[in-house]
Structure 1
Amino acid sequence: MLNSLRARLMLLTTLLLAVLMLGIGVWLYQSFYYAQVNGLQERLRLHSYSLLALADYRSGKLWVPDYLPEERFNHTGSGLYAQILDASDQIVWRSLSAKELPPVSGSNAAPGEWRYSFARMQGEEYMIARLGVNWGNAGNNNPQFNLLMIENLHDFNRQLIDYRNSMDYALLTFALLLIVMQLLILRWGLAPLRRVSHDLEKLQRGEQADLTGEYPRELQPLTTNLNQLLQSERAQRERYRNMLADLSHSLKTPLAVMSGMVHQPQISDDDRQELERQINTMSERIRFQLQRAVSQAQSFSLQKVAVKPVAESLLGVMKKVYADKHLTLQLVADDDVFFLGDDNDLTEIIGNLLDNACKYGRRQVLISAHNTLSGWQLCVEDDGPGVAEEQHEHVLQRGVRLDTMTAGQGLGLALVSDILALYDARLSIRESLLGGACFILEFENQGAL
């Protein structure tokens, strides 16, 4: 999963988003909580001032009406309560709603001082606002009282829970929308990388020679360097081919001279046969090594080569080479079978197998090519003596020939095996329905393109 750029970016941004949403949620909840607390304290202060406006201190006694304008003070269990305590913390007055409320403990507030606290009584939570009051006329002892405003926090806590649920739902919805937007942004932002990957696949399939798409500025150095690398590789490969061609030409001239000297009359028949055999051996080995060197210089950008035209061309050559054998050469191939690689490699593969089939076949040679589920398959069959099952592996080794009477060095199949190894292809041998050998080549990941 972490090998994917999209997965990495999604994981990192999702974690950051989760932390961000958590921080925003805590901040919003704390802000709402303190705003509610401040609002509750303000309401309790207003109730206190209203009560003080109605209260009076006469003849050494505090007088407060039983019924107050705020109806909640007049009903038991309403959730809003008022009490007045003297300096000794004794209740001197309480509202009708506070008849069943137990005494509230706490330190007295000085005159004019506000004190706020939370308390839990009878399984309920309350907020208590305590105000110190000094009643009396000038020259008197000015008795001090504490006015307590008490409110049940049941509705307050319910508001907090409702707000938190609404906030959680809103933040979750917002986070999901951000994740969807993030996916869309990543898909749009990574599209150039997918386009480069797609173009590279087309490059490997031989559908194009260079990266020619429109790419963002950030990717242009990469694509430019890749194109330069491909061009350099093709130029080097061409130089390599030219050097090998020059080497082949320089070797063929001395061999041609030696071949001409073989027929001079002063050379005995035995020496002549030995010279011809050695010259043929040198020619075969030079051709083998040159072709092998060319095949191993594989290019990154492969060509898309149709198999059927190459096979048809080689069949025409074999009809001329083996015209004296009067062979029936047949080709059964689909038009949409393609080889991804160098056309010279395909020519060398089919040419060697066809040459062997025509060399050992008696009357008939069949070549077939068709697509499979995983790639494509080539079969070359003949009606010759065939290859014994115990010799299947042995015959593919370099220099091995089961028939020493036929000209050759036993290098053709070895060259085919070396080329096939470069393309991760498989070569197997079985008995042909024609009676001889059937050589089967299987190329994977090279189907109808």
Structure 2
Amino acid sequence: MWANSLALRLFLWAVGWTIAIVLVTGIVLSSLYRNAVERAFDGRLQVYLRTLVADLANPETPDDKLSDAVSEPLFDLPLSGWYWQVTRTDTAKPQIRASRSLWDGGLPKLPMTDANASLSVRAGYVNGPEDQRVRLVERNIDLGEEGTYLVAVAGEAAEIEDDVRAFNRALFVTFFSLALILLLTTALQVQFGLAPLKRISQQLAAIRSGQAERLEGKFPIEIAPLAREANALLEANREIVERARTHVGNLAHALKTPLSVVMNEAAARPDDPLAQKVREQADVMRDQITRHLERARMAARLTVVGTVTNVAPVVHAIARTMEKTNRDKDLRLRVDTPEDARFRGEQQDLEEMVGNLVDNACKWAQSRVAIEVLKEHTDDSRDVIRIIVDDDGPGLTPAEREQVARRGRRLDETKPGSGLGLSIVVELAALYGGSFTLGTAPLGGLRAELVLPAA
């Protein structure tokens, strides 16, 4: 349903942008939260650092009492992940005092970079004892004659990672739910927004199939101009067809009157060779005028959109008419047609085609004529109706079948008619994209098959 559709493209565009926005926002928020957690953690470490610095600068604090300055039990627990270390750096051999938690280990120094060289307090990640990853802050202290010191305090980085990981899980669940809601909302909006276009498409299909004549209903302000222009186009098409019909009729009347005068004048002089030639050519002219005017009339009707005709009433009406006009022959006409068969075209064209076929069958039939209508689906995915007219007359040879389809050709001049009937059927069927064939009927006579587009 969505294949190669505007709705699918809009939805995929929304999916792409939603995923991109959610990912970028999630990464930014996670980074900001990590920075905030690190700053808070560093602030906690700096409290311990300042306490150590204060006691170190106090001359009354004995060296062996320096560890009492930090009241944190984790600094007394071996390899707890929380450590402090004070290193005197102005002596030949550095003098180190450290928390009990360091056991026999020590804290590495942070690498000196351009970014932290000017800072009084530096912070970063290092590997502590047992390769524990710790967050470390350090500061250089100059106590003058008391010496210079590097004071460092470290805390287990796992606390930061656990906190950030918990935040990221909550962030993922929240953003996943939000993205899902946004995508569902977008899908509904796309479907709702394109619903008027789908309604227009359905109504145009109804117009094409003859179920409606124009687009009806209220449309959004963005779609309303399209509906108005479509209705205006349909009206303009109908007006053009009506004008064409009027011109064809006017031309027919304008030509027939002078042509009749010429033929009458020629008929008044039966012995005049010139009059005979004029009458002969006038017959040809009348035939050509009738042919081309009929083609113009048919082509004009075919441009009308949405014309559909029920086949069953037309066939039954023609059968009843032919039974009445052929009472002297005692013909039996059998009609077999589904009630839901519909021809995509005008009723008068269907009447003309079927009427010519049935009339021709009745002229040549001995006692029976059969009319059958079938609904079929062709190999090229078209719905068609097949109209079959059989009679029990003498039938035709293949050469005669080809001859009678030509305009004005009659095999038996004793039968009434102009010889135009079957050729009109051929032309009308071709204009509708159908076909007409002749064959041998099971009844023994001629079979005429007419294939036309179905609605």
TM-score band (shorter)? Answer: 0.7 to 0.9
Instruction: Provide the rounded CA distance (Å) in 2 between the counterparts of 1:424 and 1:383.
Output: 29
Instruction: Provide the rounded CA distance (Å) in 2 between the counterparts of 1:382 and 1:128.
Output: 108
Query: Deviation per CA, 1:146-187, whole angstroms, max 9, x where unpaired?
Result: 211112322322333333233233222211211110010111
Instruction: Provide the rounded CA distance (Å) in 1 between the counterparts of 2:127 and 2:347.
Output: 91
| Structure 2 equivalent of residue 85 of structure 1 | 87
Q: SS of the counterpart of 1:318?
A: helix
| Structure 2 equivalent of residue 114 of structure 1 | 121
| Structure 1 equivalent of residue 13 of structure 2 | 12
Which residue, 239, 243, 248 being the options, matches 1:239?
243
Instruction: Provide the rounded CA distance (Å) in 1 between the counterparts of 2:272 and 2:316.
Output: 41
| Structure 2 equivalent of residue 21 of structure 1 | 22
How does 1:121-160 map onto structure 2 within 5 Å? 121=128, 123-135=131-143, 141-160=145-164
The CA deviation at 1:40 is 1.1
The alpha-carbon distance between structure 1 residues 280 and 386, as it changes in their structure 2 partners (threshold 3 A), is: farther
Are the equivalent residues in 1 in contact too, given 2:341–2:454 (CA < 8 A)? no
Instruction: Provide the rounded CA distance (Å) in 2 between the counterparts of 1:317 and 1:285.
Output: 30
Kindly tell me the number of residue pairs found equivalent between the two proteins: 440
User: Are residue 440 (structure 1) and residue 449 (structure 2) matched?
Assistant: yes
Moved more, 277-286 or 191-200: 277-286
Aligned residue identity for 2:82? L
Q: SS of the counterpart of 2:407?
A: coil
Which residue, 403, 407, 411 being the options, matches 1:403?
411
The TM-score normalised by the length of structure 1 is 0.84
Q: SS of the counterpart of 2:308?
A: strand
Instruction: Provide the rounded CA distance (Å) in 1 between the counterparts of 2:421 and 2:226.
Output: 42
Q: SS of the counterpart of 1:303?
A: coil
Instruction: Provide the rounded CA distance (Å) in 2 between the counterparts of 1:91 and 1:221.
Output: 89
User: Are residue 427 (structure 1) and residue 436 (structure 2) matched?
Assistant: yes
Which residue, 377, 383, 389 being the options, matches 1:380?
389
Q: SS of the counterpart of 1:341?
A: coil
Moved more, 246-255 or 38-47: 246-255
- Structure 1: gaps (5+ residues): none
Aligned residue identity for 1:128? L
Which residue, 188, 191, 196 being the options, matches 2:192?
188
Aligned residue identity for 2:204? L
Q: SS of the counterpart of 1:217?
A: coil
How does 1:48-87 map onto structure 2 within 5 Å? 48-52=49-53, 58=59, 62-66=63-67, 68-87=70-89
Instruction: Provide the rounded CA distance (Å) in 2 between the counterparts of 1:3 and 1:443.
Output: 32
Are the equivalent residues in 1 in contact too, given 2:7–2:190 (CA < 8 A)? yes
| Structure 1 equivalent of residue 99 of structure 2 | 95
The alpha-carbon distance between structure 1 residues 132 and 274, as it changes in their structure 2 partners (threshold 3 A), is: same
User: Are residue 369 (structure 1) and residue 373 (structure 2) matched?
Assistant: yes
Aligned residue identity for 2:245? R
Q: SS of the counterpart of 1:43?
A: helix
| Percent of residue pairs identical | 26
Instruction: Provide the rounded CA distance (Å) in 2 between the counterparts of 1:224 and 1:149.
Output: 78
Aligned residue identity for 1:403? L
Instruction: Provide the rounded CA distance (Å) in 1 between the counterparts of 2:388 and 2:194.
Output: 44
Are the equivalent residues in 2 in contact too, given 1:75–1:97 (CA < 8 A)? yes
Aligned residue identity for 1:113? S
The CA deviation at 1:204 is 0.9
The alpha-carbon distance between structure 1 residues 28 and 107, as it changes in their structure 2 partners (threshold 3 A), is: closer
Instruction: Provide the rounded CA distance (Å) in 1 between the counterparts of 2:334 and 2:267.
Output: 39
The CA deviation at 1:58 is 4.9
The TM-score normalised by the length of structure 2 is 0.83
Q: SS of the counterpart of 1:82?
A: strand
Q: SS of the counterpart of 1:330?
A: strand
Instruction: Provide the rounded CA distance (Å) in 2 between the counterparts of 1:22 and 1:107.
Output: 33
Q: SS of the counterpart of 1:267?
A: coil
Aligned residue identity for 1:195? R
Q: SS of the counterpart of 2:387?
A: strand
Are the equivalent residues in 2 in contact too, given 1:376–1:444 (CA < 8 A)? yes
| Structure 1 equivalent of residue 305 of structure 2 | 301
Instruction: Provide the rounded CA distance (Å) in 2 between the counterparts of 1:323 and 1:263.
Output: 36
The alpha-carbon distance between structure 1 residues 90 and 433, as it changes in their structure 2 partners (threshold 3 A), is: farther
Query: Deviation per CA, 1:250-299, whole angstroms, max 9, x where unpaired?
Result: 344345556656875x6269999999887666555433322221111223
Are the equivalent residues in 2 in contact too, given 1:330–1:367 (CA < 8 A)? yes
Aligned residue identity for 1:23? V
Instruction: Provide the rounded CA distance (Å) in 1 between the counterparts of 2:369 and 2:287.
Output: 24
Aligned residue identity for 1:40? F
The alpha-carbon distance between structure 1 residues 207 and 62, as it changes in their structure 2 partners (threshold 3 A), is: same
The alpha-carbon distance between structure 1 residues 383 and 280, as it changes in their structure 2 partners (threshold 3 A), is: farther
Are the equivalent residues in 2 in contact too, given 1:360–1:385 (CA < 8 A)? yes
Moved more, 416-425 or 396-405: 396-405
| Structure 1 equivalent of residue 294 of structure 2 | 291
Instruction: Provide the rounded CA distance (Å) in 1 between the counterparts of 2:318 and 2:150.
Output: 115
- Structure 2: gaps (5+ residues): 378-382
The CA deviation at 1:48 is 2.1
Are the equivalent residues in 2 in contact too, given 1:376–1:443 (CA < 8 A)? yes
Instruction: Provide the rounded CA distance (Å) in 2 between the counterparts of 1:78 and 1:293.
Output: 102
Aligned residue identity for 1:318? M
Instruction: Provide the rounded CA distance (Å) in 2 between the counterparts of 1:343 and 1:111.
Output: 97
Query: Deviation per CA, 1:16-74, whole angstroms, max 9, x where unpaired?
Result: 22221122112111111111111111111122234456657558963335565211111
- Alignment RMSD: 3.6
The alpha-carbon distance between structure 1 residues 112 and 379, as it changes in their structure 2 partners (threshold 3 A), is: closer
Are the equivalent residues in 2 in contact too, given 1:288–1:412 (CA < 8 A)? no
The CA deviation at 1:428 is 3.9
